[in-house]
């Protein structure tokens, strides 16, 4: 058997050419939409549709088989029915393809017959020195090379720009959602991999790969079950980048659903979570918490010494946040007498200066916020600033977003909480576009703060 290395995964993310086997001229078909994604997302390499019944698809010359393509092919995307996959993989190996993404379902998740097909394609690929992502997935998105094998049309799912966030998902749905949210929040993505059944390439392989990837700063993971638990824990342990994981299948019913989803058995949940934490991962309680954490780490610096302080024009969310932050062991600042004195001198008399929260009340304007923040930025006991904003309040001027986004925070991270409808969402979008992460859920705000403190500890201790 050919020995396979982590570096072989380069062909998934930086291929010089891609063949789409099963490409279709019919909009709505997976073979059409995967091909269209490559074209529309901006992949600059050569693209070869493979379809024996078509001469041209989307303006690209089509070929009867991959073997008829006159040039070398680095990567193939297979959208054929599962029964046709072994022959397609065999032809890929004969052609010298190194990376194969199988979008199609009908493999291990469908029963014993599908499981045998899955084992057959892996055997063929490994003997030929190729790697497989999938089957039963949406495949690969690379924000830098613009490789995009997903079959979700651009009209229905956004594509983010290049950046430092990576996401690995056993669920194609969460992979698509991560990309869509990232595009909306101006969050740059390095790589998203939808793993599907993980017949070959799995989370351990990819964490090892991303650990050495200069384009990636943080790795988010959604996982339901383990294929190689020991290797996964070791990859996390060795990784010098933050790894944030949501492990689903917490209950017996969830475990049953996971087996039917990708055909993989599920280990005991509490044991799995404990092992992930011991390996060095931050384990969170939902997919949205993974996203919230990744966004914070990419967009903000890790905090220096000092606790978190909240500044608000509405007290309720801060009370909730104080509970959540305390439960998550996020350090809350103890403002010094000197800092309190400076705040009292800078703010109107109705402002309430507490131990770790400053309530500017509903009368707050932009100047009030920015004067409070200026004092906190210069206070050594403050390591992070949480800005809670009721954008609906009329005293807060329209210029607040622009002024906040242009504020110098002296290396201290800032997170914004703002909940509301259309107007508030518009303001949040403007802040996100300027690199300020925003949240409309107190728990997600709190877990983002936790992630930044955790990342600071992990990076400073070389873990």
| Bridge pairing between strands 60-61 and 56-57 | antiparallel
Interval 255-280 mean pLDDT = 73
The per-residue pLDDT for range 90-105, each reduced to its tens digit, is 999 999 999 999 999 9
The per-residue pLDDT for range 189-199, each reduced to its tens digit, is 999 999 999 99
The predicted model scores a pTM of 0.94
Return the SS3 of 50: strand
Element spanning 68, H or E: none
Residue-wise burial string across 92-127, b where 16 or more C-beta atoms lie within 10 A, e elsewhere: bbebebbbbbbbbbbbbbbeeebbebbeebbebbbe
26 band by pLDDT with thresholds 50, 70 and 90: very high
Instruction: State the Cα torsion 279-280-285-290 to the nearest 10°.
Output: -120
242: tokens are 């933050």
Q: Report residue 351 CA to chain centroid gap.
A: 39
Report d(CA 417, CA 385) in Å as an integer.
11
Residue with tokens 């740059």: 188
The yes-or-no verdict on residue 212 having pLDDT over 60 is yes
Residue 4: is it exposed, middle or buried by C-beta count within 10 angstroms (0-12/13-18/19+)? middle
What local confidence, expressed as pLDDT, does residue 8 receive? 82
1 band by pLDDT with thresholds 50, 70 and 90: very low
Q: In what order do the strands lie in the sheet with 131-133?
A: 46-50, 17-21, 75-78, 99-102, 131-133
Return the SS3 of 421: coil
Return the SS3 of 216: coil
> Are 69 and 76 contacting, i.e. CB atoms less than 8 angstroms apart?
no
The yes-or-no verdict on residue 17 having pLDDT over 60 is yes
The yes-or-no verdict on residue 257 having pLDDT over 70 is no
Report d(CA 17, CA 14) in Å as an integer.
9
Report d(CA 67, CA 87) in Å as an integer.
12
Q: Report residue 116 CA to chain centroid gap.
A: 32
Interval 247-262 mean pLDDT = 64
Report d(CA 307, CA 124) in Å as an integer.
55
Backbone angles phi, psi at 62, to 5 degrees: -100, 155
> Are 265 and 225 contacting, i.e. CB atoms less than 8 angstroms apart?
yes
The yes-or-no verdict on residue 369 having pLDDT over 60 is yes
The yes-or-no verdict on residue 260 having pLDDT over 60 is no
| Bridge pairing between strands 139-142 and 189-194 | antiparallel
267 band by pLDDT with thresholds 50, 70 and 90: low
Report d(CA 224, CA 209) in Å as an integer.
21
What local confidence, expressed as pLDDT, does residue 187 receive? 99
Neighbours of 453 (CB within 10 A): 21
Residue 237: is it exposed, middle or buried by C-beta count within 10 angstroms (0-12/13-18/19+)? middle
Q: Which of 404, 399, 426 is nearest to 415 (CA)?
A: 404
3 band by pLDDT with thresholds 50, 70 and 90: very low
The yes-or-no verdict on residue 453 having pLDDT over 80 is yes
Return the SS3 of 362: coil
The per-residue pLDDT for range 321-355, each reduced to its tens digit, is 999 999 999 999 999 999 999 999 999 999 999 99
> Are 462 and 238 contacting, i.e. CB atoms less than 8 angstroms apart?
no
Q: DSSP assignment of 293-317, as one string?
A: HHHHHHHSPPP-SSEEEEEES-HHH
324: tokens are 């959540």
Report d(CA 339, CA 298) in Å as an integer.
30
Domains, in order of start, for the chain: 1-137 (3.40.50.720), 157-299 (3.40.50.261), 301-445+452-460 (3.40.50.261)
Report d(CA 428, CA 451) in Å as an integer.
20
Neighbours of 316 (CB within 10 A): 12
Report d(CA 351, CA 353) in Å as an integer.
6
Share of the chain above pLDDT 70, in %: 94
Report d(CA 184, CA 385) in Å as an integer.
24
């Amino acid at each position: 058997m050919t020995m396979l290395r982590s570096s072989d995964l380069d062909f998934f993310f930086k291929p010089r050419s891609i063949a789409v086997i099963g490409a279709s001229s019919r909009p709505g078909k997976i073979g059409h939409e995967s091909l269209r994604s490559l074209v529309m997302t901006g992949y600059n390499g050569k693209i070869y549709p493979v379809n024996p019944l078509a001469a041209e698809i989307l303006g690209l010359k089509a070929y009867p088989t991959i073997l008829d393509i006159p040039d070398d092919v680095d990567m193939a995307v297979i959208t054929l029915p599962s029964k046709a996959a072994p022959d397609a993989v065999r032809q890929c190996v004969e052609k010298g393809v190194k990376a194969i993404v199988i979008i199609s379902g009908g493999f291990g998740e469908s029963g014993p017959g599908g499981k045998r097909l899955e084992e057959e394609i892996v055997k063929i690929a490994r003997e030929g020195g190729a790697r497989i992502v999938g089957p039963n997935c949406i495949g690969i998105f690379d924000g830098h090379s613009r490789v995009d094998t997903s079959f979700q049309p651009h009209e229905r799912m956004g594509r983010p720009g290049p950046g430092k966030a990576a996401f690995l998902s056993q669920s194609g749905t969460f992979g698509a959602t991560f990309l869509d949210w990232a595009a909306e929040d101006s969050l740059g993505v390095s790589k998203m991999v939808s793993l599907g059944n993980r017949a070959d390439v799995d989370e351990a392989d990819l964490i090892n790969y991303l650990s050495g990837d200069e384009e990636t700063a943080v790795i988010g993971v959604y996982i339901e079950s383990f294929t190689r638990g020991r290797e996964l824990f070791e990859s996390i342990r060795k990784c010098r980048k933050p790894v944030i994981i949501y492990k689903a299948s917490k209950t017996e019913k969830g475990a049953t659903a996971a087996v039917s989803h990708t055909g993989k058995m599920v280990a005991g949940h509490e044991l799995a979570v404990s092992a992930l934490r011991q390996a060095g991962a931050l384990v969170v309680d939902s997919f949205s918490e993974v996203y919230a954490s990744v966004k914070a780490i990419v967009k903000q610096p890790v905090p220096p010494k000092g606790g978190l302080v909240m500044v608000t024009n509405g007290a309720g969310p801060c009370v909730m946040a104080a509970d959540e932050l305390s439960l998550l062991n996020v350090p809350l600042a103890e403002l010094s007498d000197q800092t309190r004195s400076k705040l009292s001198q800078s703010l109107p008399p109705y402002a309430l200066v507490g131990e770790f929260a400053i309530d500017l009340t509903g009368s707050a304007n932009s100047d009030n916020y920015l004067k409070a923040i200026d004092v906190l930025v210069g206070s050594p006991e403050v390591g992070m600033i949480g800005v809670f904003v009721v954008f609906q309040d009329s005293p807060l001027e329209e210029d607040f977003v622009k002024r906040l986004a242009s504020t110098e925070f002296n290396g201290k991270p800032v997170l914004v909480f703002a909940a509301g409808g259309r107007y508030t969402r518009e303001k949040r979008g403007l802040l996100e576009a300027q690199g300020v992460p925003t949240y409309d859920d107190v728990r997600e705000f709190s877990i983002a703060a936790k992630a930044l403190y955790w990342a600071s500890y992990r990076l400073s201790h070389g873990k």
